[in-house]
A and B are shown apart, each in its own frame.
Chain A
């Protein structure tokens, strides 16, 4: 496949994913018990004729395909409907939660990249040093742990045990009202630490595993021996010769974490009471708030698809081998 066709395939793939999600979320609305009217609190006590008239006005008596077209049209205008539980606009609720989630998962991801790369490089470069072994063992243990267990462990040690950090939420109820902007910022940062560390450790374990393997593969390569023979300094050898070939692998692993970045770390957010996408999804699912779940599905999948498309195209640039003949 040539580069151009590959890009074309990826674009088509991205469109198919978004289209599938749209249809799924519409089917969800359609299949769930009751329709958009049943949730409308204003309909109590209406006569059957009035209900039928209301159904006609809202287009609920139209065929499936027509309703789907209307639904897509509304989404195209940025209208994701209203929540069944509190009548809030789904778009507003999702966007609000999304910014909070990106604050948490973005911090976590940065931490994960930093600690994962550091440990991975250490393990791949000086694999027999005791420190790299100890760190490797620790991260493997973390890697094998389901997320909620790691979260509970850190919560009980860092928040309950030492009392250094708050037990959950995003801000202190008192400071958020009376504090200066600076105090509020610090307060949110303080609340951010433990959940972000949880994410950073969990994802960092995955990054470090792949970084280690990628680096180990490079260390034995002929061009590395050539570089040593040429008299390249160890530091430059690692930076310029050793790490470059492992970039695409690691970038791909980080790309795999994107769904969580936008979708919210559901478990971590729930344990720490962080009011982001994850908490929103869990609450909406438990309350069977169909428009909210469907809207969140559409927003998250679109965000994830577009960013993974971007990563894929970036990978293309990072790896000269892929530019010529891909797939």
Chain B
């Protein structure tokens, strides 16, 4: 429950950032007097080294970080489900080729693929970053879908549906998809947490979302030189990242546990 609450609060903050934020997140308000100020009534979370309002940056940063994570998650899910379902439905030779390709892709460290893409594209917009993240993260989803469909294919109800003359697409949509929803929900939420962590890590290294656009990761990066003198500047985005990643994986664990309890396996066969 607490995890869901955290996630929805962060979501509201991200969506409502333009209305909720008291200042422009990139405006340098007063370079002389407002540098690294502690929290006050005028600036609830203080100001950073460039005299920008931290609360506004946190809200807009949520927008960037969550936006990139959600978009890349959607891309990874769609690609993964499509690839896995297709591989489970074509002739055996193609199945071997398709899943072999997935195994090969999975064996190349993902970070190397990401860095390669960053080198090839140069400075990336958040949208492009999300696309690249999505296209390097779908393999685990496709493995899951493939194994699940293969397992379901041996069940009697699938056999019965096939005997009735249902075409493969209809079978997939009507009879197999409902069984995939719960495990996919769990895996998807886990992947979301993973992508959030990766995006913030990349932005922290200065390779993801670039200044002046705020993201939680590059806010931490900006704060590192002031770790001793203004530690809260790093602490605020760090706590937010941990809370969001933590609650996303908590939700995933919960969904996963529930999906075991509700698994259609206990109803059929």
Contact = CB atoms under 8 A, between A and B. Distances in A.
B107 A308 contact: yes
B211 to A, nearest CB: 13
Q: Counting chain B CB atoms within 10 Å of each CB, which of A17, A146, A160, A290 scores highest?
A: A146
B90 interface: no
A49 B181 CA distance: 63
Contacts of B206: 282, 286
Interface string A141-153: 0001111110011
A17 B205 contact: no
B242 A145 contact: yes
Contacts of A305: 107
B234 interface: yes
Interface string B12-39: 0000000000000000000000000000
B109 interface: yes
A308 to B, nearest CB: 7
Given A152-B220, A156-B227, A146 B109 contact: no
A33 B228 CA distance: 41
A259 B108 CA distance: 8
A197 B108 CA distance: 26
Q: Is the interface of A mostly helix, strand, loop or mixed?
A: helix
A interface bracket (residues with beta carbon within 8 Å of B): 35 or more
Nearest to A152: B234
B180 interface: no
Contacts of B227: 152, 155-156, 160
Contacts of A33: 122
A16 B109 contact: no
A266 B109 contact: no
A288 B242 contact: no
Contacts of A259: 109, 111
B205 A301 contact: no
A146 B242 contact: yes
Contacts of A297: 112, 115-116
Nearest to A263: B109
A149 B241 contact: yes
Interface stretch (A18-26, A111-119, A207-215): A18-26
Contacts of B224: 152, 271
Given A24-B116, A144-B249, A267 B107 contact: no
Interface string A58-94: 0000000000000000000000000000000000000
A206 interface: no
Given A28-B119, A32-B119, A263-B112, A146 B245 contact: yes
Interface string B105-141: 1011101110110111010000000000000000000
B109 A301 contact: yes
B264 interface: no
B264 to A, nearest CB: 25
B interface bracket (residues with beta carbon within 8 Å of A): 35 or more
Q: Counting chain A CB atoms within 10 Å of each CB, which of B104, B107, B231 scores highest?
A: B107
Interface string A1-37: 0000000000001001100110011001001110000
Contact of A293 (B100, B115, B205, B245): B115
Contacts of B113: 24
Contacts of B109: 259, 263, 300-301, 304
B204 interface: yes
Contact of A147 (B201, B231, B234): B201
B159 interface: no
Contacts of B241: 146, 149
23 contacts: A13-B104, A13-B107, A25-B116, A28-B116, A32-B120, A33-B122, A144-B249, A146-B241, A148-B200, A148-B204, A149-B238, A153-B238, A263-B111, A270-B205, A271-B224, A282-B206, A282-B207, A285-B119, A286-B206, A286-B207, A293-B116, A300-B109, A305-B107
Interface of A: 13, 16-17, 20-21, 24-25, 28, 31-33, 144-149, 152-153, 155-156, 160, 259, 263, 266-267, 270-271, 281-282, 284-286, 288-290, 293-294, 296-297, 300-301, 304-305, 308
What 8 A-B pairs come out closest when comparing CB atoms?
A: A259-B109, A146-B197, A17-B107, A144-B246, A149-B238, A285-B115, A16-B104, A293-B119
